[in-house]
Amino acid sequence: MNQREKTVCPHRRACGGCQLQNMSYGEQLLHKQKKIVSLLGQFGHVEEILGMDDPLHYRNKVHAAFGLDRNRRVVSGIYQPGSHAIVPVDECMIEDEAADRIIVSIRKLLPEFKIQVFDERSGSGWLRHVLVRRGFATGQVMVVLVAVSPIFKLQKPFLAKLLRLHPEISTVVLNINDRFGPVVLGRRDKLLFGPGYIEDILCGKRYRISPSSFYQINPSQTEKLYSAAVEFAGLSGKETVLDAYCGIGTIGLTASDRAKQVIGVELNADAVKDAIVNARLNSVKNCWFTQGDAGKFMEQMVSDGHRPDVVFMDPPRSGSDGRFITSLLKAAPKRIVYVSCSPETLARDLELLCQGGYRVRRIQPVDMFPFTNHVETVVLLTKGTV
Ligand code: SAH
């Protein structure tokens, strides 16, 4: 794609997912660079944002809400911002095209298999969402049907037909979510076909991904992000590394070849299980993963007299909390590599780390989410003058 061309999406107004529709890709990169300079420039020089060669169809995970429109016709697509009205979307310029095709097929199969979609107003019906994840490097595809109950009468013939139409599907999971509210996935999964997870390859390592585990949605840009993060860590093979907010262990495992040992901590129990499997899958013997709150874990680590040499931290959008920052300052690692998807909370946390004696050395923005407002940033901090 020519960086100066504009791509216009027919759903842009109703959907609202791509806020930078009015800009060419080149303009988007410039806009994001300026945003990071204005929020983080006070901490030091901002390196040039790493963009994509082809910024279309980068999302490896596609979520479609299913429901009824005003005329009680079945629709699937994206929630309108701030509402529960569904904007019908069959094709999206940032979503994986194979995933979009599967979602459309599922919608078309519903009448034949007497599957009712859930109606929020009356509380009747069954199917609420469909989630498709594809491992871009392996081609493996996971379909998650989110429904209000585990009873699926015509399960067998439905699956047979879906798999005939899409032999690329490697696993199908039924997730049960009977609660009201914005959370897509419920707590229970029922395996309908295949192993219940998919695998993907990132920075040369293989990863298992379960339905609810966090996995970066743009793999080619994630490789750039992780490469920058590992470079910033400056590892020599002697370090004890903490991978805080580690998800399925991707950053820690990417760094493991260059460290003495890596300890990962993560709140989501399924993601931790995946991280442990991932270490085994890659024959990595120097990584340990544990479930818990990252701040609490580091507090304990410090009070037990252990201190990491390098800390990777990759918190959710809300940033880190007081407990984590306080224990991080106590742990006083030589290097902190902060990976952030929210420059606003990043600026807030950097301020606290700088007050605690750290200096920002490198700031590298990465465009993980073309056409949207979001920017990912990786920052290196070291103590004092080192
Ligand atoms: N580093 C991973 C995941 C980053 S997303 C990757 O690159 O893929 C942020 C992760 O933080 C999520 O997996 C989320 O479950 C986890 N998380 C959220 N709050 C947490 C907390 N208080 N302690 C530990 N992990 C937390």
CA-nearest residue, atom 5 of ligand 1: 316
Mean pLDDT, the chain, integer = 95
Cβ(294) – ligand 1 distance below 6 Å: yes
Q: Relative to the CA of 341, which ligand 1 atom is closest?
A: 5
Q: 332 CA to middle of ligand 1, Å?
A: 21
Q: 255 CA to middle of ligand 1, Å?
A: 17
Q: Which of 60, 263, 266, when mutated, tests ligand 1's pocket best, judged by the most ligand atoms within 8 Å of its CB? A: 266
Counting residues of the chain whose pLDDT is more than 70, the rounded percentage is 99
Q: Is the pLDDT of residue 343 over 90?
A: yes
Cβ(207) – ligand 1 distance below 6 Å: no
Q: Is the pLDDT of residue 150 over 80?
A: yes
Cβ(297) – ligand 1 distance below 6 Å: no
Cβ(210) – ligand 1 distance below 6 Å: no
Summarised one tens digit per residue, pLDDT across range 212-261 is 888 999 999 999 999 999 999 999 999 999 999 999 999 999 999 999 99
pLDDT at res. 165: 98
pLDDT at res. 1: 65
Pick from 151, 46, 63, 146: nearest CA to 100 = 63
Cβ(246) – ligand 1 distance below 6 Å: yes
Q: Is the pLDDT of residue 386 over 60?
A: no
Q: 316 CA to middle of ligand 1, Å?
A: 6
Summarised one tens digit per residue, pLDDT across range 350-376 is 999 999 999 999 999 999 999 999 999
Q: Which residues have a catalytic role annotated?
A: 341
Q: Is the pLDDT of residue 275 over 70?
A: yes
Q: Relative to the CA of 268, which ligand 1 atom is closest?
A: 15
Q: Is the pLDDT of residue 88 over 60?
A: yes
Cβ(314) – ligand 1 distance below 6 Å: yes
Q: Is the pLDDT of residue 36 over 70?
A: yes
Q: Which of 205, 263, 267, 274, when mutated, tests ligand 1's pocket best, judged by the most ligand atoms within 8 Å of its CB? A: 267
CA-nearest residue, atom 12 of ligand 1: 247
Q: Is the pLDDT of residue 181 over 90?
A: no
Counting residues of the chain whose pLDDT is more than 90, the rounded percentage is 87
pLDDT at res. 385: 63
Q: 339 CA to middle of ligand 1, Å?
A: 11
Q: 9 CA to middle of ligand 1, Å?
A: 32
